Amino acid sequence: MPPLRRSSHIPDPNLITLYAERGGSALHRLDPRAKVGALAWLVVFVTLARPTWLLVAALAVTIVVYLLAGLPFRELLRWYSIPVLFVLSLVVFLVWEEPGAPVLAAGGLVLTTGGVALVVSLVARALTTVTFTLVLLMTTRYVHLAGLAAKVLPSPIDQVFLLSYRFLFTTLGLIDGLLLALRARGGGLVRGVLTSTRLFAGIFALSFVRAYDRADRVGRAMTARGYEGRFPPSEPLPPLSVVQLGAVAVAFAALAFAVLGGLPGFGGVVP
């Protein structure tokens, strides 16, 4: 009997680790501190940018960066399903009666061009952040992430971050198992969310309870093996790249100038 195929909607922790540890692209060789800074800049950018076209352009550029890193594009499209469903579940009651030309009318509610632009902008914000986060995780070795957390975060927050990062994989594995069980019984993610929202909420809540229980057992096992609250870094961070960090600083300065100066798209009049 062939093994069950993993759910394609959940990021595969093993695949993420494989690309991070064995990838050889130019992005893999970038300073991890610069990549974290670029992610922070991108989050601020998509939060402050207003025009829909600018957010879509940011998403397109981020996807190009993802492809330049040699990362799998088909898996990325599959991994988009859950963040898209999450955003749509939040805005389903907000898109109606927005200013703009009418596009669709149903049951006394009117969907306008403004409502469509709202959906597109929120989805673009979410997917841009998700895409570059995957770029960071899939082009940075875990030992470098651990070393960076130890340098930047105070104790014990750095240990909480590292354990949360690893236990996130545990949670994803549990949700992955639930989706596999759903598919084996003839169900589907989109159809199930639309028809049995309350049931799905209970299922995902149960998955987090199970993840907490497993994390507690792992913590007890670590204590039994001598864990005393610190993970000593097994490998130092690569030499600091002043050029790369300088480029990130210039990007932050340009963004601050655009926002404080009220340039179009960041507070000024959009043409």
Q: What is the 3-state secondary structure (H, E, C) of the chain?
A: CCCCCCCCCCCCHHHHHHHHHHCCCCCCCCCHHHHHHHHHHHHHHHHHCCCHHHHHHHHHHHHHHHHHCCCCHHHHHHHCHHHHHHHHHHHCCCCECCCCCEEEEECCEEEEHHHHHHHHHHHHHHHHHHHHHHHHHHHCCHHHHHHHHHHHCCCCHHHHHHHHHHHHHHHHHHHHHHHHHHHHCCCCHHHHHHHCHHHHHHHHHHHHHHHHHHHHHHHHHHHHCCCCCCCCCCCCCCCCCHHHHHHHHHHHHHHHHHHHCCCECCCECCC
| β-bridge partners, 102 | 112
| β-bridge partners, 105 | 110
- Mean pLDDT, the chain, rounded, equals 80
Structural domain boundaries of the chain?
1-140+241-271, 153-234
How far is C-alpha 184 from the geometric centre of its chain's CA atoms? 27
Per-residue confidence (pLDDT) for residue 100, from 0 to 100: 74
Q: Is the pLDDT of residue 49 over 50?
A: yes
Lowest mean pLDDT among 21-25, 209-213, 257-261: 209-213
Interval 77-130: pLDDT, tens:
999 988 888 888 888 777 777 787 777 777 677 777 888 888 899 999 999 999
Interval 208-234: pLDDT, tens:
777 777 777 877 887 787 776 666 666
Per-residue confidence (pLDDT) for residue 195, from 0 to 100: 53
Burial 193-220 (b: 16+ CB within 10 A, else e): beeeeeebeebeeebeebbeeebeeeee
Q: What is the mean pLDDT of residues 1-29?
A: 74
CB atoms under 10 Å from CB of 99, counted, come to 9
Q: Which residue has the higher pLDDT, 12 or 232?
A: 12
Per-residue confidence (pLDDT) for residue 271, from 0 to 100: 41
Under the banding of pLDDT at 50, 70 and 90, the label for residue 189 is: low
Per-residue confidence (pLDDT) for residue 3, from 0 to 100: 39
- Distance between CA atoms of 28 and 12, rounded to whole angstroms? 19
Per-residue confidence (pLDDT) for residue 197, from 0 to 100: 61
Q: Which residue has the higher pLDDT, 29 or 267?
A: 29
Per-residue confidence (pLDDT) for residue 97, from 0 to 100: 72
Interval 196-206: pLDDT, tens:
566 666 766 77
Interval 56-70: pLDDT, tens:
999 999 999 999 999
Largest CA distance in the chain: 65
Q: Which residue has the higher pLDDT, 206 or 31?
A: 31
